[in-house]
Copies of this chain bind each other. A is one copy, B any other.
Amino acid sequence: MQSRRYPKDRPVFNQGDPVRAVFLVAKGEVRLTRFGPRGEEVILQRARRGDYFAEAALDSGRYHCNAIAAEPSELLEIPAAVLRDLLDRDAAFACQWATLLARQLRTTRARLERMALHGAADRLRHYLATEGSGPRNEVRLGGSLKDLARELGVAHETLYRTLARMEQSGYVERDGARLRLSAARRRV
Contacts and interface: CB of A to CB of B under 8 A. Distances in A.
Interface residues of A, number: 52
Nearest to A185: B37
A101 B105 contact: yes
Nearest to A130: B44
A113 B42 contact: yes
Most buried by B among A38, A45, A65, A126: A38
A58 B99 contact: yes
Contacts of A64: 106
A137 interface: yes
Interface in A128-169: 129-130, 137, 153
Contact of A97 (B38, B44, B98, B115): B98
Contacts of A116: 36, 42-43, 115, 153
B112 A37 contact: no
Interface string A98-120: 11011111101111110111000
Contacts of A153: 115-116
Contacts of A181: 37
Interface stretch (A6-14, A74-82, A88-96): A88-96
Contacts of A112: 44, 108, 111-112, 115
Contacts of A89: 91
A98 B105 contact: no
A125 B91 contact: no
Interface string A51-65: 000011011100011
8 contacts: A36-B126, A37-B181, A56-B102, A87-B91, A89-B91, A94-B94, A108-B108, A108-B112
* Interchain residue pairs A-B with the least CB separation, the first 9: A94-B94, A101-B101, A115-B115, A91-B91, A56-B106, A56-B102, A87-B95, A56-B105, A42-B116
